[in-house]
């Protein structure tokens, strides 16, 4: 698509479903070379899980550039997915445009208050971050022991690659896991037919996943 037709550039950082992220230097290089009439939508839904100096969550981009909007959610780290609650950070100009076209009914007051409480609960956020770090390391170690490839992730999920054969392919793995009460996401829609995406759970749930996966592979 030509630059004349481009109105918006969308970046999910960290990315879903890979869990990878674009470093700060490359993000700034992008926005510096992006025409001012093109909006950069910066989706940082998994930003809370990253503790890397080379990552930028988007907030400082909004404060420096007028054509950036950062999006965040309460569905991941805060565990409030059922409330369908999120928030954005942008310039006054972008905000006024969004307010002029948004539907008349916004999120309800219960969801808003839950979001405020969740943002103030720093101890819970710290606990979730440590849980994710520890369990991700454990899952990676177990997958290596099973000789399965995976994509190193900066989020709360991991992309697992299965061999392309009739016996142990990803589709059969997905079906086997489902029969044992474990729901994972097929990656065929992302043109990754030999991958599944696993969201981390409690340590007991993660152990059960590895236990069932071992049975499948054997």
Is residue 16, in this structure, part of any structural domain at all?
Answer: yes
Domain closes at, from 120, 153, 177: 120
Of 204, 202, 217, the closest CA to residue 143 belongs to 217
171 vs 173: CA distance, rounded Å: 5
84 vs 150: CA distance, rounded Å: 30
Domain that holds residue 152: 123-217
pLDDT digits (tens, 9 = 90+) for 55-111: 999 999 999 999 999 999 999 999 999 999 999 999 999 999 999 998 888 889 999
Q: The pTM is what?
A: 0.89
pLDDT digits (tens, 9 = 90+) for 35-69: 999 999 999 999 999 989 999 999 999 999 999 99
Domain closes at, from 120, 139, 166: 120
Measured over the CA atoms of residue 92, residue 93, residue 99 and residue 102, the dihedral's sign is negative
Residue 168 has pLDDT above 80, yes or no: no
Reported confidence tier of residue 2, pLDDT bands at 50, 70, 90: low
102 and 128 together in one domain:
no
Please give the tally of structural domains in the chain.
2
Contact 174, 196 (CB under 8 A): yes
């Amino acid at each position: 698509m030509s630059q004349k037709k481009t109105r918006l550039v969308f970046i999910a950082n960290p990315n879903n479903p890979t869990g990878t992220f674009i470093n700060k230097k490359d993000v700034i290089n992008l926005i510096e070379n992006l025409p001012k009439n093109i909006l950069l939508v910066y989706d940082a839904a998994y930003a809370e899980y990253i503790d890397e100096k080379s990552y930028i969550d988007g907030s400082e981009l909004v404060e420096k550039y007028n054509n950036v909007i950062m999006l965040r959610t309460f569905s991941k780290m805060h565990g409030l997915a059922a409330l369908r609650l999120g928030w954005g950070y942008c310039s006054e100009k972008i905000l006024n445009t969004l307010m002029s076209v948004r539907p008349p009914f916004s999120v309800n007051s219960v969801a808003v208050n839950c979001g405020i409480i969740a943002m103030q609960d720093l101890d819970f956020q710290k606990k979730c971050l440590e849980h994710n770090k520890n369990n991700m390391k454990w899952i990676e170690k177990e997958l290596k022991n099973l000789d399965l490839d995976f994509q190193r992730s900066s989020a709360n999920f991991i992309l697992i690659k299965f061999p392309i054969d009739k016996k142990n392919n990803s589709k059969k793995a997905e079906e086997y896991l489902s029969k044992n009460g474990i729901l994972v996401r097929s990656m065929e829609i992302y043109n990754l037919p030999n991958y599944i995406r696993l969201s981390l759970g409690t340590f007991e749930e993660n152990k059960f996943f590895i236990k069932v996966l071992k049975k499948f592979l054997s």
